[in-house]
Structure 1
């Protein structure tokens, strides 16, 4: 045939193919666009009574989720997910990251074993490198390994022609921000902004990947239930929207998301897509944790995120935001307060704690009323508010950095004596005790403390299990413009074994016993004036004995730190305090 005839035949084949694809989309609209236009679920397995993966995946499909996020890359789970149509997020565990960051060969090995073995039968579409790495202060050496590990995994995918099909990212918590309320003041912490976040955002932008963030309005609400209207946390009817630079916020989730967007914009990145890697509401255990509120919050999240056309946020209107609810099951082996074990949509036997429709086709008013029989729990003492840490295990993220901006709520500051640029001035924090308002403390350097320190045992406010504290530097440091990343292509391609990892320990903030009493007294006055609960160390108080300045200061320091570390409080007090891992 002639060239013209061949060209005409080729044109016919192209049009026929396009027509066939359109017909298939019309015949099967459920699968079309299902990958993104659907709600995802976090599948954690920290339980000794959970069904096997195949049964769990059947339960996911019965909930009509379109995506699932895993906290590892377990081959049994990935095999069970084959041919299910579910899009899958897998995770490079935190302890695997060091070797992958140091060698492209190690990254290749990981991709071959965990991706190519299962893809494309299992629809892996995202790899998260680490889980809340930047919230783990016990392993800060991993922070500078994060972006090189992401780059090496991505380079391996590109070599296998999967760079456009599988995105690479990491999961961060809200505590990567040092300020977030109002949202326009969103700004990354000074200890990671230049060295980690800027190169990470450059990578996400160049690879057209997502910024994955764990956002939990529940934590901010439960810690400030006397200041934050419940409706603002659960997408209710807010009478007075929050005004921020001409934008109006009627829900806390949008404010938290836009705080991250503002932080990215401050580093010059305006177009990176944002996704919610975790959000949810617990059904039992702590303030505001009950079935009614969990059902209301999660149903409304689904309805909002699947709205057609997309709602987006005030800062990014009309934008679809991929969202993964936390979590599929209640997990009885998770440490910490009762609420840690009560985030699931399902009991281990597969029955639902409450009805939820993952397609947003049922309105609030159409759901049956829930009679949970669970009273609204009394508010716990501030230092028992849980801090969630999920280091390569399924646990709600540390999405509770700031006190959300609402009706004049004070804007939290990252550390003693430090104000971010353009932030409004701080107002004195009222105290119920007759202490003066705090004034900045001079820095004090002291010799190393002795190995054994005697403190009053029963009175120290007990920290939550497995915390991931936020401990920024008390003053801004000079940004590091060239981060000292390990090389992506080392001379020796064989990476050493990753360093052994130790479990995250509980932490207490105590006074350094080598600091003079006069200096400690000033630091203690600061802590008490800044809101620490110091009544117990007043004369006749429960913890007045032993009557020493170091014991009283330790109690005050720990009270302040446990109560304020979520919103940027540090254990420093002008260099007079330190963190210890043994219960004093």
Structure 2
């Protein structure tokens, strides 16, 4: 993803994060459970190269926060779940946490918010009673430092805290959690802080295949017959994420809360999964979802229920976390590999100044799948011989030698020839065994000739706290699994 882009958005509401009132933005989550990860200075350089201006960390790594100093990159830092008990139990501990993780870096590092825990109410319900005491203690420490108007405090929730989410007009918060949620919403309203929610249309689709069309989940253009209609409001929904966002607003409205905005702290689509269990976790689908998501947010058209509010969204996630455990998809949500090589190129044109490159017209020539090896080998030999393609990188020991198979080697040689010929018509054919694609076939250390990305490769291992957030399908089933009620409560016109 050569100069990629990403990022997030805030809404034009009074409770917007203080540094960017008035518009939607897209940001990225950065997990660090990665082997051979970039050093903090290299990470910040990469963020600047990609024109990324909003990030969320799953901890408050001092090395990264120091490297972010004097940049225009805004960061949400996090209190890991295992630190919440200590903070809730002692105002001194909370003040020390603010001193160590905020005051030591702010304002040179633009810390905009503190996320207290991650999905605590659903992942560790036994600690739910200490969530608000921890939040109030941290806020008191910010207040004493006169930073309470500059740095917001909230806590990210799994979307499963919302029951009966579809149609959105009938959604409501899990009643067993209502006392805590009411306290939280009162705090968010009083401090003009956002409600943070993790929302994954991917899991909505996977839990309800046959009910929720793939196109609705991927933001693809729909015919009127495929639009979802809320029978109570007659509002039309063209994508799953908007419906999820509006279900949160309806849930707040049912508790008489109307002045708290929503920030989607996690959303995304995996690029790889178990072929039998997660067949829709593909590069093409991940590319389609994230590309369409970015364009949708930056259109600033809001949702059907709140067209005046465009929710900020953080893509999960910037890098594949290769050290994550199974399932396979857990390690494959990233836009880039850990060494900064892109997993795929986003297809976003005219989406704003954060784009380092407009990749819409970037094309590559690769070998078609299913072609027999002998035919491919003949075409490969011609490309590297009479065709004078640069085939040095597919020789033993070189960056593109692995995987050592004719399809991989032929793709590299075809792409070299295609671009040496200036991508002219007919230069990607090779007697019918090659095809043009907009998906960058580069992988790991192997950068294809057609990729204009300048990658910062490194073998440096970051010595930092690997506090990351997992995307566990089981914790999301509550809300997403209820998409099935669409059959009876929403109608496709």
- Candidates 338, 356, 359, aligned match of 1:348: 338
Which residue of the partner structure matches residue 72 of structure 1? 59
- Candidates 337, 340, 346, aligned match of 2:327: 337
Q: Is the 8 A contact 1:331 1:342 kept in 2?
A: yes
Which residue of the partner structure matches residue 360 of structure 1? 351
Task: Say yes or no: does 1:233 pair with 2:217.
Answer: yes
- Structure 2 SS opposite 1:153: helix
Cα distance in 2, alignment partners of residues 161 and 242 from structure 1: 46
Cα distance in 1, alignment partners of residues 135 and 350 from structure 2: 33
- Structure 2 SS opposite 1:90: strand
Unaligned runs of 5+ in 1: 1-31, 374-390, 412-422, 424-584
Cα distance in 2, alignment partners of residues 36 and 107 from structure 1: 32
Unaligned runs of 5+ in 2: 1-18, 364-436, 442-465
Structure 1-normalised TM-score?
A: 0.58
Deviations 1:128-165 (A, max 9, x none): 111110111xx323101111111111111011010000
Computing the radius of gyration over CA atoms, which structure comes out larger, 1 or 2?
1
* Aligned positions of 1:277-316 closer than 5 A: 277-285=265-273, 286-307=278-299, 310-316=300-306
- Structure 2 SS opposite 1:191: helix
Which residue of the partner structure matches residue 169 of structure 1? 154
Deviation at 1:405, TM superposition (A): 4.6
Deviation at 1:57, TM superposition (A): 2.1
Cα distance in 1, alignment partners of residues 360 and 172 from structure 2: 39
- Structure 2 SS opposite 1:89: strand
Q: CA RMSD in A?
A: 2.6
Deviations 1:399-436 (A, max 9, x none): 4423465895356xxxxxxxxxxx9xxxxxxxxxxxxx
Task: Say yes or no: does 1:85 pair with 2:72.
Answer: yes
Deviation at 1:36, TM superposition (A): 6.0
Cα distance in 1, alignment partners of residues 241 and 139 from structure 2: 30
Q: Against the structure 1 CA distance between its residues 187 and 350, is the aligned structure 2 distance closer, same or farther, given a 3 Å change threshold?
A: same
Structure 2-normalised TM-score?
A: 0.69
Cα distance in 1, alignment partners of residues 467 and 66 from structure 2: 20
Q: Against the structure 1 CA distance between its residues 33 and 145, is the aligned structure 2 distance closer, same or farther, given a 3 Å change threshold?
A: closer
Q: Against the structure 1 CA distance between its residues 329 and 108, is the aligned structure 2 distance closer, same or farther, given a 3 Å change threshold?
A: same
- Structure 2 SS opposite 1:88: strand
Which residue of the partner structure matches residue 151 of structure 1? 136
Deviations 1:478-514 (A, max 9, x none): xxxxxxxxxxxxxxxxxxxxxxxxxxxxxxxxxxxxx
Task: Say yes or no: does 1:321 pair with 2:305.
Answer: no
Deviations 1:294-348 (A, max 9, x none): 11110111111112xx211111112121111111111111122001000011112
Cα distance in 1, alignment partners of residues 440 and 70 from structure 2: 37
- Candidates 118, 134, 138, aligned match of 1:131: 118
Deviations 1:222-243 (A, max 9, x none): 2222221111001112222111
Which residue of the partner structure matches residue 178 of structure 1? 163
Task: Say yes or no: does 1:393 pair with 2:468.
Answer: yes
Corresponding pairs, count: 360
Which residue of the partner structure matches residue 266 of structure 1? 254
Q: Is the 8 A contact 1:131 1:170 kept in 2?
A: yes
- Structure 1 SS opposite 2:99: helix
Task: Say yes or no: does 1:116 pair with 2:103.
Answer: yes
- Structure 1 SS opposite 2:340: coil
Deviation at 1:174, TM superposition (A): 0.6
- Structure 2 SS opposite 1:76: helix
- Structure 2 SS opposite 1:293: helix
Deviation at 1:68, TM superposition (A): 0.7
Deviation at 1:395, TM superposition (A): 2.1
Which residue of the partner structure matches residue 526 of structure 1? none
- Candidates 177, 186, 192, aligned match of 1:202: 186
Cα distance in 1, alignment partners of residues 350 and 65 from structure 2: 24
Cα distance in 2, alignment partners of residues 209 and 201 from structure 1: 9
* Aligned positions of 1:368-447 closer than 5 A: 368=363, 369-370=437-438, 393-396=468-471, 398-400=475-477, 401-403=479-481, 405=483, 408-409=486-487
Greater relative contact order (CA < 8 Å, ≥ 6 in sequence): 2
Q: Against the structure 1 CA distance between its residues 118 and 372, is the aligned structure 2 distance closer, same or farther, given a 3 Å change threshold?
A: closer
* Aligned positions of 1:458-497 closer than 5 A: none
Deviation at 1:206, TM superposition (A): 0.4
Task: Say yes or no: does 1:243 pair with 2:251.
Answer: no
- Structure 1 SS opposite 2:304: coil
- Structure 2 SS opposite 1:181: coil
Which residue of the partner structure matches residue 83 of structure 2? 96
